[in-house]
Amino acid sequence: MTHEEILQGLYDHTLVGHAPEVKDLVNQGLADNLDPEKMLYDALIPSLEEVGARFERGDFFVPEMLIAARAMQGALDILRPLLAETGAKPVGTYVMGTVKGDVHDIGKNLVNIMLEGAGFTVYDLGVNVAPEKFVEQVQEHEPDIVGFSAFLTTTMPMFKANINALEKAGIRDHVIVMVGGAPVTQEYADAVGADGYAADASTAVRLAKDLIERKRSAVPA
Ligand code: B1M
């Protein structure tokens, strides 16, 4: 198979949730030196975008979204160590979770993989994380950054609820707050008082490093 055929196969099989075929194609791609990031950005993510578009049009329903997501997750399980393999020096600590009421986690997991690859220690709180849990985990790990992911317009308001909870606990100024997720915008992030917003995983990593650097250089010696 050519690289183009593998990528097309990954796109097509993810779209219809054929998890075994997706795994086989990922392994075949790796055996044939196909770049893991190319598989991710040129086939797997576009396929999930098409799943979302079909869902919006009413051509797909939740079960179809779910099996496509499972196929994607199988691919990520194989790609994870390769995407995270950089040997980077530790740069900071990150507490990350998907907000309360929201169970989407593929995007969050991808951001975590990239953060780990860049040298961050990541504490992943999973999905449907309540504000109190974020507060408790920030108090326990004292991270440089806490990240909130939201993938639904109905769960985005949890950013503000989480920030309010950090304020109430007296720790808002101790931690950088980053937000992200498909429906989130820079304007929304600014409106809720987040310190940073990124549209995708690689921007999230760049911004995380930048925000830490800015915070460290702002601290008087
Ligand atoms: Co749902 N879903 N879903 N879904 N789902 C979306 C998000 C949707 C856009 C589909 C659509 O209508 N086009 C839509 C939301 C509409 C809206 O509110 N604007 C939607 C809906 C409506 C729903 C339900 C309500 C459906 C229902 O039940 N009627 C339901 C909600 C359940 C809940 O959470 N309470 C639901 C359920 C599900 C499944 C469980 C079936 C499944 C999730 C499985 C899982 O995640 N384990 C699912 C899926 C798979 C999707 C789509 C198709 C794919 C999501 C995905 O993984 N994308 C999605 C459509 C779409 O996104 N186009 C959709 C790939 C991923 C790599 O991208 O998630 O954007 P993304 O992550 C990016 C960036 O956002 C960013 O970096 C990531 C990597 O580049 N990023 C950050 C993420 N977090 C960040 C944090 C940061 C910075 C950047 O800093 C902290």
Q: In which band, very low, low, confident or very high, does the pLDDT at 46 lie, cut at 50, 70 and 90?
A: very high
Q: Where are the alpha helices (DSSP H) in 40-151?
A: 45-57, 62-83, 106-117, 131-141
Range of the domain at 196: 93-218
For the record, the structure tokens of 200 come out as: 């995708």
**Same structural domain, 72 and 126:** no
**Same structural domain, 175 and 78:** no
Does pLDDT of 92 surpass 60? Answer: yes
- 35, 56, 86: which is the final residue of a domain? 86
Residue 95 CA to residue 202 CA, distance in Å, equals 17
Instruction: Determine the pLDDT at residue 129.
Output: 98
Does pLDDT of 12 surpass 70? Answer: yes
Testing ligand 1's pocket by substitution, the residue of 65, 79, 144 carrying the most ligand atoms inside 8 A of its CB is 65
Tell whether ligand 1 has an atom less than 6 A from the beta carbon of residue 152: yes
Eight-class DSSP state of 193: T
**Same structural domain, 75 and 103:** no
For the record, the structure tokens of 94 come out as: 């990150």
Which residues, 6+ apart, have CB-to-CB distance to 157 below 8 Å? Answer: none
pTM over 0.85: yes
Which residues, 6+ apart, have CB-to-CB distance to 202 below 8 Å? Answer: 114
Distance in Å, CA 216 to ligand 1 centroid: 33
Q: Which range has highest mean pLDDT (65-79, 142-156, 197-211)?
A: 142-156
**What is the mean pLDDT of the segment spanning 87-114?**
91
